[in-house]
Amino acid sequence: MRKPFLVAALLVATPFFAACTENAKDSGGDSSDPRAVTVTSTDDSCDVSTTEVPAGTLKFNVTNEGSKVTEFYLLGADGLRIVAEVENVGPQLSRQLVVNAPAGTYTTACKPGMKGDGIRADFTVTKSGDQPAVSSDDQQLVDTALANYSAYVQDQSDQLVSKTREFIADYKAGNDDAARALYPEARTHWERIETVAESFGDLDPKTDAREADLEPGQKWTGWHRIEKDLWPQLAVDYTPLTPKQRAFYADDLMKNITTLDDRVQTLDYTVDQIANGSRGLLEEVAAGKVTGEEEYWSHTDLWDFQANVDGARVGFEGLKPIVEQKDPELAKTLTARFAALQKLLDAQKTATGFTFYDDLTQEQIKDLANAVNALSEPLSQLTAAVLS
């Protein structure tokens, strides 16, 4: 998934009811489907093929015949509340907006050039047998999910600061055994909120870069620089860092973690960000942890693995009451697959944490990878489900 999702998304709050947008294969729409609406946007007109449709899953096939990028909105009767929108429809391109709309009066709007109020018209959704189930509790569920997630991130960030402080104190003092024990514990709090941390494009490379990720001329700092110094066994011709160098890297890490902590205090989230974050954390597992690439020197990959899964599960569980309303089958599948993956991780727990990655058998790694795939695939449906 796209890394800087929070930063970008903070600017534009995605509406809760908004919807899947798809590329409209056939901009002509399906004449046999009364819920298929063709929208043709030009620089000065917005032609909507019908003004009245039965309630249910509406498909707006939006084609841009103008010269500027256009947007299409389905707004509430007040003309303010965004029910659904599709953005970034380039000239001569088409996109499909799918929205589950209950009966009521609405406003449609094309916004060529993305300026002003757009070209508006009234739109009516009539009662039908396919009336979507709407709960008056929806907004309350959303508010609760958002508040809980925000609290979770702040709590993890807080623990990250204190554990990192302990870790660097031991590292600077040369208490290497203690530092080695604290390293995966401190990183657990980072990995639980990794997609949030990564959304700060300036902090992530300074904090979590691996040696192979470096750009020409980029100085290697952060967790993994210290990791190599604490576990130099695999390194070729390695020169240990001097106490002065240790202090530099340790203080630099602490400074960046503190900056991260300052920033997360003011972050707000949307449900789709939480869902995307949950998916993103499992992608982190699939890309770096299950392959043993993340903690190349220390082999503490399973700590990170567990922490990513923790963060993903917290995200999902916060949204679960919403998903249970909108797609109960998906909620059930995700619950079962999180549990199946956790069972495999539990089997690798030890008195001090987890089995080191290089002590896992190929079969155990394969089982973990299979469970990650089994979970990731339905998890990629989560965002669309909470927005439906």
| List of residues contacting other proteins (CB under 8 A) | 1-3, 8, 11-12, 21-23, 25, 64, 68-69, 71, 87-88, 90-93, 113-114, 212-216, 279, 283, 286-287, 290-291, 293, 362, 365-366, 369-370, 373, 376-377, 379-380, 383-384
100 vs 53: CA distance, rounded Å: 12
5 vs 194: CA distance, rounded Å: 12
* Between 9 and 168, CB nearer to other proteins: 9
* Between 214 and 336, CB nearer to other proteins: 214
Question: Per the structure block, which two tokens stand in for 81?
Answer: 């509340």
Angle at CA of residue 334, ends 290 and 138, nearest 5°: 130
Residues in Cβ contact with 151 at an 8 Å cutoff, skipping those fewer than 6 apart: none
Quote the radius of gyration of the chain (alpha carbons, Å).
25
Q: How far is the CB of 113 from other proteins (least distance, A)?
A: 8
Nearest to 303 by CA among 239, 350, 252, 234: 350
388 vs 384: CA distance, rounded Å: 6
Question: Per the structure block, which two tokens stand in for 353?
Answer: 């944490």
Nearest to 220 by CA among 296, 165, 138, 144: 296
317 vs 334: CA distance, rounded Å: 10
323 vs 102: CA distance, rounded Å: 18
Q: How far is the CB of 169 from other proteins (least distance, A)?
A: 32
161 vs 303: CA distance, rounded Å: 18
Q: How far is the CB of 283 from other proteins (least distance, A)?
A: 5
Q: How far is the CB of 207 from other proteins (least distance, A)?
A: 16
* Between 27 and 325, CB nearer to other proteins: 27
* Between 178 and 235, CB nearer to other proteins: 235
Q: How far is the CB of 316 from other proteins (least distance, A)?
A: 15
Residue 337: φ, ψ to 5°: -80, -30
* Between 166 and 367, CB nearer to other proteins: 367
Question: Per the structure block, which two tokens stand in for 60?
Answer: 């707006």
* Between 160 and 285, CB nearer to other proteins: 285
Q: By CB neighbour count within 10 A (0-12 exposed, 13-18 middle, 19+ buried), where does 102 fall?
A: middle
DSSP-derived letter for residue 294 is T
Q: How far is the CB of 20 from other proteins (least distance, A)?
A: 8
* Between 23 and 124, CB nearer to other proteins: 23
Contact call for residues 112 and 140 (beta carbons, < 8 A) = no
Nearest to 379 by CA among 341, 334, 343: 334
Q: How far is the CB of 67 from other proteins (least distance, A)?
A: 8
Q: How far is the CB of 64 from other proteins (least distance, A)?
A: 7
* Between 170 and 204, CB nearer to other proteins: 204
Q: Which residues pair with 337 in a beta bridge?
A: none
* Between 171 and 297, CB nearer to other proteins: 297
Q: How far is the CB of 143 from other proteins (least distance, A)?
A: 25
